[in-house]
Amino acid sequence: MTQLSYAHGGSDQPLLGQTIGANLIATAAARPDHEALVDVASGRRYSYAELLSWSQRVAKALLAAGVAKGDRVGIWSPNCAEWVAVQYGTALMGAVLVTVNPAYRTSELDYVLRQSGVKLLISALQHRTSDYRAMVEEVRDRVTGLGQVVFIGDDTWTSFEARAGQIGDEELDWRQHSLNFDEAINIQYTSGTTGFPKGATLSHHNILNNGYFVGQLLGYTPADRVCLPVPFYHCFGMVMGNLGCTSHGSTIVIPAPLFDPDATLRAIEQERCTSLYGVPTMFIAELALDGFAGYDLTSLRTGLMAGSPCPIEVMKRVMTEMHMGEVGIAYGMTETSPVSTQTRAGDDLEQRTATVGRVMPHVEIKIAEATTGSVVAVGTPGEVCTRGYSVMLGYWDEPDKTAEVIDAARWMHTGDLGVMREDGYLNIVGRIKDLVIRGGENVYPREIEEFLYTHPDVADVAVIGVPDARYGEELMAWIKLRPGASPIDAGELRRYCEGRIAHQKIPRYVKLVEDFPMTVTGKVRKVEMRRISTDELGLGPAGSVPTA
């Protein structure tokens, strides 16, 4: 009988039936003096009792500012201790936290604030060279309903916190106890490559449980200290990171406001971190640091690599050279809170380096034929679909777009191409939109990228399809070289590939780059790469050849 590509994450560990605020209160009651948060850049440290108290002040300040249950509160800031206090403060009093990408400019900020209906915005003063105050003032008059703006680090923040004194404990307690764990508590805007971003609306139940089970599979206890260089505005930071920590009584360590490989490794050494998160490009940057061997990383045991496809060779180096023998790979998307599959510490080397793991507890996964939705046989590529507690409530105020991705049976259609193995472990072979069809044959860029990582001079690589008059599409590799490596051209790459991979998988074009076009969360923008390459190679006419 044919084995179908379906798996259910049965578990003896029940889902948490709590709000985020109730969970933090319970953790603080159990371990009030245990260190909860370290902001390395500012030198500030907070115990669980102190973090809860601060979060309650923020919650009271929001109440005093007239923020009602379900109102949207925006936060536009790089990582900092205040970000964490706002995350838990909004959760305690029931405001929906709208997390705004720190890299947004005025048009994107304007859209997000208006589309979500933000009532109060908490903002940094600046981000890199961006003047946040000036940008906020530029859009403020256009955003109907935006009543107040608070800037972290100036008098408006001090005045905002001072308003907490207007609200008694009883009023906050009443508000906190009125909340339901199935209610929306977070809107995260997806970094789509076309069109306006969509606001994935997530509940307490969605993100608290996802963070909790990510931590469970990593074996988190109060002894763990988790270094988080990933941005808090994204699920990786605020769910897998912050909620993963606080639901287990572990310590959040913020190495710097923005990713800095040196600051990250110094924070691990200084704080004796046991776990490190990052997208693959972050780990690649850390491994490439001059003097990398001089950092003391022996306290590490685990962590997560996620956010984009994880190169097998990079994963192996992380396990050995960074002492992260129990490191995991996680796969998911914002719309699924985010993690749907994850490797386990007990998995063998092949499972933990060549797959994205198996289904999470209390989640279902199927691999489906993209047009019919029928479950395909094990070993057959198809669209990854997931169902369970983790699937978002929907896109904020966009029911039609929600219906495009969540079907009548509540399956979330990810748009990712995957293969389920007989052991239940999953391989992601690409995006449906990234699939290259060369001369009628399906070619999966991920497979080629994994092979090219074996080249001794390749530090990072991304493979795309570009227009071709004869084959419809041809393959192109964007390559970042290791320090000191000699340049690689298409001819040399072909010679390296011949006899090792099928001829139709050998890239015809090569572009050497210092960096790839990236989103803030570390995902390669392949649509942008294709546009740039098509222009540079003069392939526009090939892309406009009429087809049936």
DSSP states of 2-57 as a string? PPBSEEE---SSPPP-S-HHHHHHHHHHH-TTSEEEEETTTTEEEEHHHHHHHHHH
319-332 pLDDT, tens digit each: 999 999 999 999 99
Per-chain mean pLDDT for the chain:
93
Return the pLDDT at 429: 83
Residue 548 has pLDDT above 60, yes or no: no
Return the pLDDT at 499: 84
**Please, are residues 202 and 391 in contact by the beta-carbon 8 Å criterion?**
no
More confident site: 543 or 122: 122
CATH 3.40.50.12780: which residues of the chain? 1-13+208-229+249-433
Average pLDDT for 47-56: 98
Q: Which residues contact 297 (CB under 8 A, 6 or more apart)?
A: 265, 268, 269, 322, 323
- φ, ψ for residue 329, nearest 5 deg: -110, 135
State what percent of residues in the chain have pLDDT above 90. Answer: 79
Q: Which residues contact 403 (CB under 8 A, 6 or more apart)?
A: none
Weakest mean pLDDT among 39-43, 65-69, 172-176, 344-348: 344-348
CA distance 124 to 126: 6
**Confidence label for 406 from pLDDT (cuts 50, 70 and 90):** very high
Long-range contact pairs involving 401-409 (C-beta distance under 8 Å, separation at least 24): 401/198, 405/335, 407/373
Average pLDDT for 163-167: 98
Architecture of domain 18-180: 3-Layer(aba) Sandwich (3.40)
DSSP 383: E
CATH 3.40.50.980: which residues of the chain? 18-180
**Confidence label for 194 from pLDDT (cuts 50, 70 and 90):** very low
Query: The pTM is what?
Result: 0.85
Weakest mean pLDDT among 342-356, 426-440, 442-456, 534-548: 534-548
Return the pLDDT at 265: 98
State what percent of residues in the chain have pLDDT above 70. Answer: 97
Query: In 311-379, where do the E strands start and end?
Result: 328-332, 339-342, 358-359, 363-368
CA distance 285 to 258: 14
207-233 pLDDT, tens digit each: 999 999 999 999 999 999 999 999 999
Return the pLDDT at 453: 92
Architecture of domain 441-543: 2-Layer Sandwich (3.30)
Residue 521 has pLDDT above 70, yes or no: no
The residue count for the chain: 548
Average pLDDT for 121-125: 98
Weakest mean pLDDT among 207-211, 441-445, 531-535: 441-445
Return the pLDDT at 190: 85
Weakest mean pLDDT among 181-185, 267-271, 528-532: 528-532
Residue 16 has pLDDT above 90, yes or no: yes
Return the pLDDT at 195: 58
CA distance 296 to 277: 17
Return the pLDDT at 430: 78
Return the pLDDT at 546: 34
**Confidence label for 204 from pLDDT (cuts 50, 70 and 90):** very high
Return the top range by mean pLDDT from 174-178, 281-285, 472-476.
174-178
Return the pLDDT at 85: 98
CA distance 392 to 333: 10
Average pLDDT for 76-103: 97
Give the H/E segment covering residue 163.
none
Alpha helices in 218-348 (DSSP H): 235, 244-246, 261-271, 280-287, 312-321
- φ, ψ for residue 369, nearest 5 deg: -65, 130
**Confidence label for 15 from pLDDT (cuts 50, 70 and 90):** very high
CATH of 1-13+208-229+249-433, one of 3.10.180.10, 3.40.50.620, 3.90.79.10, 3.40.50.12780: 3.40.50.12780
- Only one residue has tokens 């994994």, namely 450
CATH 3.30.300.30: which residues of the chain? 441-543
Residue 543 has pLDDT above 70, yes or no: no
